[in-house]
Amino acid sequence: MEALELLRNGFAVAIEPQNLLFAFIGCALGTAVGVLPGIGSAAAIAILLPVTFNLAPTPAIIMLAAIFYGTNYGGTITSVLMNMPGEAASVVTCMDGYEMAKRGRAGAALAIAAIGSFIGGTVATIGLVLSAELLTRSALQVGAPEYFALLVLGMALLTGLASKSFLKSVMMAVLGLLLATVGMDPTAGSPRFTFGRLELLDGLSFVPVVMGLFGIGEILINLEVQGRSVFQKRLGSLLLTRDDIRQSVGPITRGTLVGFVLGLIPGATSVIASFLSYSLETKVSRTPERFGKGAIEGVAAPETANNSFVNANFIPLFALGIPGTASVAMIMGGMMANGLVPGPFLYRDHADFVWAVIASMYIGNVILLILNLPLVGLWVKLLDVPYSILFAAILGFTTLGAYAVSNSPFDIFVMLVFGFLGYAFKKLEFPIAPLVLTLILGPLMERNLRKSLEMGGGDFTILFDRPLSLAVLLIAAALALLPLLRPLWGRVEVLRSGQETS
Amino acid sequence: MRNPLRRSLGLVAAVVIAACGGAAPAGSAPSASVTASAAPKAAWPAPGKTISLIVPYDAGGAGDVGARLLAPYLEKELGTMVEVVNKPGAGSQIGVTELSRAKPDGYTIGFTHLPATIAVYLDPERQAAFNRASLQPIAMYVVDPNAIAVKGNSPYKALKDLVDAAKANPGKVTLGDSGILSDGHITTLLLQEQTGAKFAVVHGAGGAKGIADLLGGHVQAQNVNLSGSNIDLAKSGEIRLLGIFDDSTNPNYPGVTTATSQGYKISVATSRAISAPAGTPKDVVTILSNAIKRAMAAPEFTAKAASSGLSLRYMDPTQLEAYWTDLETRVKPLIDLAKK
Amino acid sequence: MPPGQANEARALNTVVAGIFIVLGLAAAFEATKMRYYSSLGPGPGFFPLWLGGALALFSFLWLVQIRLASSADGTSGLRPGRAGALRIAAVLGSLAFVAFTIELIGFRLAMFAMLGFVLLTLGRQRLLVTLVVAAAGSFGAYYVMGGWLGVSLPNATLPWLADLGL
Q: What mean pLDDT is reported for chain C?
A: 82
Q: Tell me the nearest-neighbour CA distance from B197 into chain A, angstroms.
A: 15
Q: Over 60: is that where the pLDDT of B39 sits? A: no
Residues 18-37 of chain C with CB under 8 A from chain A are 20, 24, 27, 30, 34-35
Query: Given an 8 Å threshold on Cβ–Cβ distance, is B14 in contact with C116?
Result: yes
Nearest neighbour of C113 by CB, restricted to B11, B85, B340: B11
Q: Which residues of B touch A454 (CB under 8 A)?
A: 174, 200-203
Contact B187, B148 (CB under 8 A): yes
| The one-letter amino acid at C86 | L
Query: Given an 8 Å threshold on Cβ–Cβ distance, is C164 in contact with B25?
Result: no
Q: What mean pLDDT is reported for chain A?
A: 84
Q: Which residues of C touch A393 (CB under 8 A)?
A: 133, 137
Q: How confident is the model at residue B319 (pLDDT cuts 50, 70, 90)?
A: very high
Residues 51-110 of chain C with CB under 8 A from chain A are 51-52, 54-55, 58-59, 61-62, 65, 73-75, 77-78, 80-81, 83-85, 87-88, 91-92, 94-96, 98-100, 102-103, 107
Task: For residue range C11-66, list pLDDT tens digits in order.
Answer: 888 888 999 999 999 999 988 888 888 777 788 888 899 999 999 999 999 888 88
C137 touches chain B (CB under 8 A): no
Q: How confident is the model at residue B29 (pLDDT cuts 50, 70, 90)?
A: very low
The pairing of strands B82-86 and A191-192 is unpaired
Q: Which residues of A touch B129 (CB under 8 A)?
A: 198
Q: Tell me the nearest-neighbour CA distance from C44 into chain A, angstroms.
A: 6
Mind giving me the DSSP string for B243-305? EEESSS--TTSTTPPBTGGGT-----EEEEEEEEETT--HHHHHHHHHHHHHHHH-HHHHHHH
Q: What is the DSSP-derived secondary structure letter of residue A215? A: I
Q: Shortest CA distance to B205 belongs to which of A191, C36, A325, A39?
A: A325
Preceding peptide of B115 cis, ω within 30°: yes
Query: Given an 8 Å threshold on Cβ–Cβ distance, is B10 in contact with C166?
Result: no
Query: Given an 8 Å threshold on Cβ–Cβ distance, is C95 in contact with A416?
Result: yes
Neighbour tally for B9: CB within 10 Å: 14
Q: Which residues of A touch C89 (CB under 8 A)?
A: none
Q: What pLDDT, on the 0 to 100 scale, is given for residue A489?
A: 65
Q: Over 80: is that where the pLDDT of C95 sits? A: yes
Task: For residue range C129-138, list pLDDT tens digits in order.
Answer: 888 888 888 8
Preceding peptide of C159 cis, ω within 30°: no
What is d(CA A455, CA A478) in angstroms, rounded to the nearest whole number?
27
* Helix ranges (DSSP H) in chain B: 3-21, 64-78, 93-101, 116-122, 159-168, 183-195, 207-215, 230-235, 282-297, 299-308, 317-331, 334-338
Neighbours of chain B (3+ CB pairs under 8 A): A, C
Task: Count A/C contacts: CB-CB distance under 8 Å.
Answer: 183
Q: What pLDDT, on the 0 to 100 scale, is given for residue A106?
A: 84
Query: Given an 8 Å threshold on Cβ–Cβ distance, is C166 in contact with B14?
Result: no
What backbone torsions phi and psi does residue B266 show, to the nearest 5 degrees? -135, 135
| The one-letter amino acid at A221 | I
- A225-229, A268-272, A498-502, B311-315 — most confident range: B311-315
Average pLDDT over residues A222-242: 68
- Share above pLDDT 90 across residues of chain B, in percent, rounded to a whole number: 48
C104-139 as b/e, with b when 16 or more CB fall inside 10 Å?
Answer: ebbbbbbbbbbbbbbbbbbbebeeebbbebbbebbb
Nearest neighbour of C127 by CB, restricted to B6, B23, B31: B6
A96 touches chain C (CB under 8 A): no
The pairing of strands B174-177 and B51-55 is unpaired
Q: Is A494 helix (H, G, I), strand (E, B) or coil?
A: helix
Task: For residue range C60-85, list pLDDT tens digits in order.
Answer: 998 888 888 765 555 555 677 788 88
What is d(CA C166, CA C160) in angstroms, rounded to the nearest whole number?
9
Q: How confident is the model at residue B297 (pLDDT cuts 50, 70, 90)?
A: very high
Contact A425, A149 (CB under 8 A): no
What is d(CA B58, CA B61) in angstroms, rounded to the nearest whole number?
5
Query: Given an 8 Å threshold on Cβ–Cβ distance, is C113 in contact with B14?
Result: yes
Q: Over 80: is that where the pLDDT of C161 sits? A: no
Q: What pLDDT, on the 0 to 100 scale, is given for residue A234?
A: 62
Query: Given an 8 Å threshold on Cβ–Cβ distance, is C164 in contact with B13?
Result: no
Q: Shortest CA distance to B221 belongs to which of C133, A455, A424?
A: A455
Task: For residue range A370-380, list pLDDT tens digits in order.
Answer: 888 787 777 77
Neighbour tally for B120: CB within 10 Å: 26
Half-sphere exposure of A414 (CA within 13 A, CB side): 24
Contact B125, A189 (CB under 8 A): yes
Give, to the nearest 10 degrees, the angle between helix B282-297 and helix B299-308. Answer: 70
Residues 321-360 of chain A with CB under 8 A from chain B are 321-324, 326-327, 329-330, 332-333, 336-339, 341-346
CA distances from A124 to A127, A130, A314, A352, B13 (A): 5, 10, 9, 20, 53
Task: For residue range B144-166, list pLDDT tens digits in order.
Answer: 999 999 999 999 999 999 999 99
Contact C129, A443 (CB under 8 A): no
Q: Which residues of B touch C112 (CB under 8 A)?
A: 10, 14
Neighbour tally for C86: CB within 10 Å: 14
Query: Given an 8 Å threshold on Cβ–Cβ distance, is B68 in contact with A345?
Result: no
Neighbours of chain C (3+ CB pairs under 8 A): A, B
Q: What pLDDT, on the 0 to 100 scale, is given for residue B7?
A: 44
Q: What pLDDT, on the 0 to 100 scale, is given for residue A255?
A: 93
Nearest neighbour of A457 by CB, restricted to B91, B171, B209: B171
Average pLDDT over residues B313-333: 92
Q: Tell me the nearest-neighbour CA distance from C164 into chain B, angstroms.
A: 6
Contact B188, B223 (CB under 8 A): yes
Least confident of A253-262, A263-272, B235-244: A263-272
Q: Over 60: is that where the pLDDT of B194 sits? A: yes
Q: What pLDDT, on the 0 to 100 scale, is given for residue B4?
A: 44
Average pLDDT over residues C125-154: 79
Mind giving me the DSSP string for C56-111? HHHHHHHHHHHHH-SS--S-TT-SPPHHHHHHHHHHHHHHHHHHHHTTTTHHHHHH
Average pLDDT over residues A106-121: 89
User: CB neighbours of A217 closer than 8 A, spacing ≥ 6?
Assistant: A418, A419, A420, A421, A422, A423, A425, A426, A432
Q: Which residues of C touch B25 (CB under 8 A)?
A: 165
The residue that leads in pLDDT, A336 or B183, is: B183
Average pLDDT over residues C140-164: 73
Q: Over 60: is that where the pLDDT of A46 sits? A: yes
Give the predicted TM-score (pTM) of the model. 0.83
What is d(CA A366, CA A364) in angstroms, rounded to the nearest whole number?
5
| The one-letter amino acid at A183 | G
Query: Cα A43 from chain centroid?
Result: 17
Task: For residue range A414-439, list pLDDT tens digits in order.
Answer: 999 999 999 999 888 888 888 988 88
User: CB neighbours of B135 closer than 8 A, spacing ≥ 6?
Assistant: B96, B99, B100, B112, B117, B275, B276, B277, B278
Query: Given an 8 Å threshold on Cβ–Cβ distance, is A167 in contact with C65?
Result: yes
Q: What pLDDT, on the 0 to 100 scale, is given for residue A237?
A: 54
Q: How confident is the model at residue A353 (pLDDT cuts 50, 70, 90)?
A: confident
Task: Identify from C97, C103, C108, C114 which residue to disrupt to test chain B contact, counting B C-beta atoms within 10 A and taking the largest count.
Answer: C108
Task: For residue range A309-333, list pLDDT tens digits in order.
Answer: 988 988 888 888 888 887 888 888 7
Q: Over 80: is that where the pLDDT of C149 sits? A: no
Q: What pLDDT, on the 0 to 100 scale, is given for residue C73?
A: 54
Average pLDDT over residues B28-57: 64
Q: Shortest CA distance to B206 belongs to which of B324, B317, B57, B312?
A: B57
